[in-house]
Amino acid sequence: MNLIKITLITVAALSAVGCANITVPAPQPTMANVNAAKQLTESVKLGSFKLAAGLSAGTDQSISVRGSNTLNAPSGQSFSTYLRDVLATELRSANKLDDASTISITGELTKSELDAGMSVGTGTVGARFVVTRTDGVCLDKELTATAQWESSFMAAVAVPAAFNRYTALYPELAGKLLKDADFQQRCKTKQ
Amino acid sequence: MIRSNHRPLHLAALSVLAVASTMLTGCASFYVDNGLRAADTAQVTKPAAPKPVQLFFGFQTKGGANALATQQLKGQVTELVKQSGLFSEVKETAGPDTGTLQLTINNVALSDDAISKGVMTGLTLGLAGSTVGDGYVCDLQYKQSDSSPKIEAKANHAIYTSIGASSGPEAAATKMASIDEAVTTMVRQAVKTLLVKLSNNPQFQSAP
């Protein structure tokens, strides 16, 4: 199945039932993030990723635009664990993921917003990352990735664009952590 | 609604029109621009001692990452790189003596501005009546190692959709049997063009 077919299916779904309901695709490594991860002095491991307190549970399962057009977290997972998968994909591709590492990253999804306006679309994904070493917390920081793009009055155009842009915020957020100077400097055990 | 030629339109909108047209008239024809047709018979120049490479592929829509399309097309792109023979191995992870190859295909609108600047190929021919088009700006970046100079190559491609009973852009493009064939042909010709350009680069051939 290819790109156009996906679009056609989406359009057909929109025509048939008036809404699209799709699942976020599997993470793919990005060259910029892998290059950033390669600069880490040592490997890290990933701990639990969950939804921040105070947010509704539904925030972690799906996000909707233009009515019932919904982007779902992967089956059996959540957007917070999707963020973990994205980070794991980048680290693994850089050979910097090691379950035996003494440096551990945990995360909380703090923001998940998407708007497919008639002319402008906006999206935000935020997370609080806590990084620990054997001697305690070396980083506790909230990072945010935002995007703004040209939207359309046509739902069949605006909805896929919004879903694509929202999905792209996850590797962008992972990249913000990997490139964070505080993370790189404070969270290493070797000099 | 049928759009006239030379109007900015991206793939999703094009597909909407195609579907709408198909529903109304039962026909939409797909064409791939002839500009990169030579890639199908071109030969890469294989290096004497191919090296392993870590491949990154990304499909973009108007410059924004399109994860769904990336996922769907990555297999075909990976196979094309493997089949080229330019590398001893195509890897998922970094490693010593492993280069990096990034391939990007960006789906852009075929605007009047882009055409006037000669950015795209063959687009001033054949677009008439109810024919619409999508452009694909394709980029390659290769580094033998983190400290090596970057080698870059570029190519532009296009897919046209002719809606209804009007004639298509036969003068500038080749008719495809389906949209599946149009997309796989576009990807194949674009990636092969980039790989041939890479193989002809003296820096690539002279890499230690």
Question: How many domains is chain A built from?
Answer: 1
β-pair partners for A105: A46, A131
Tokens encoding A23: 């699942």
The per-residue pLDDT for range A77-88, each reduced to its tens digit, is 999 999 999 999
Total domains in chain B come to 1
B181 vs A: CB within 8 A = no
Q: Is position B3 within any domain?
A: no
Residue A18: its pLDDT value, please? Answer: 60
% of chain B with per-residue pLDDT over 70: 75
How would you classify the pairing of strands B173-176 and B99-109? unpaired
- What is the predicted pLDDT for the residue at A60? 96
Please give the C-alpha separations between residue B12 and each of A133, A155, A159, B30, B62, in angstroms, as whole numbers.
47, 10, 10, 14, 11
Position A117 in a domain: yes
Within a domain: A108: yes
Query: Is B93 in contact with A168 (Cβ distance < 8 A)?
Result: no
B148 touches chain A (CB under 8 A): no
Write down the ipTM of this complex.
0.83
Structural domain boundaries enclosing B126: 11-205
Full domain range(s) for residue A59: 19-186
Please state, as a whole number, how many other Cβ atoms lie within 10 Å of the Cβ of residue A48: 12
Is B26 within 8 Å of chain A by CB?
Answer: no
Rounded distance between C-alpha atoms, residue B87 and residue A47, angstroms? 36
In a domain, B31, yes or no: yes
Statement: residue B119 has pLDDT above 80: no
Question: What is the C-alpha to C-alpha distance for residues A120 and B104, in angstroms, rounded to an integer?
Answer: 25
What region does A177 belong to: left with phi over 0, alpha with psi -120 to 50, or beta? alpha
Nearest by CB to B13, from A24, A29, A157: name it: A157
pTM for this prediction = 0.83
Domain-located, residue A57: yes
Cβ–Cβ contact A66 with B under 8 A = no
B48 min Cα distance to partner chain A (Å): 27
Q: Which residue has the higher pLDDT, A130 or B5?
A: A130
A92 touches B: beta carbon within 8 Å: yes
- Rounded to an integer, what distance in angstroms lies between the CA atom of residue A57 and that of residue A76? 14
Which of these, A112, A24, A107, lies nearest to A60 by C-alpha position?
A112
| Interchain contact A149–B (C-beta under 8 A) | yes
Closest CA to A43 of A106, A107, A108, A92: A92
Residue A4 is assigned to a structural domain of this protein: no
Nearest residue on chain B to A153, judged by CA atoms? B13
Asked if the Cβ–Cβ distance from A25 to B67 is below 8 Å, we say: yes
A40 touches chain B (CB under 8 A): no
Q: Where would I find the H helices in B58-205?
A: 67-84, 112-116, 179-199, 202-205
Q: Is B2 inside a domain boundary? A: no
Residue A12 lies in a domain: no
What gap in Å lies between CA A7 and CA A3, rounded to an integer? 6
- Say whether B93 and A15 touch across the interface (CB within 8 A): no
Burial of A24 (0-12, 13-18, 19+ CB in 10 A): buried
- Reported as a single tens digit per residue, the pLDDT across B65-95 is 999 999 999 999 999 999 999 999 999 999 9
In a domain, residue B181? The reply is: yes
Run of H or E residues at A85: helix A79-93
- By C-alpha distance, which of B29, B13, B1 is closest to B165? B29
CB-nearest to A95 from B61, B94, B180 is B94
Measure B129 CA to nearest chain A CA, in Å. 22
* CATH number of domain containing B192: 3.40.50
E-assigned strands of chain A?
Answer: 21-23, 45-51, 62-65, 69-72, 104-116, 120-133, 136-150
- Is B4 part of a structural domain of the chain? no
CATH of the domain at A145: 3.40.50.10610
Collect all residues of chain A within an 8 Å Cβ-Cβ radius of residue B73.
Answer: 2-3
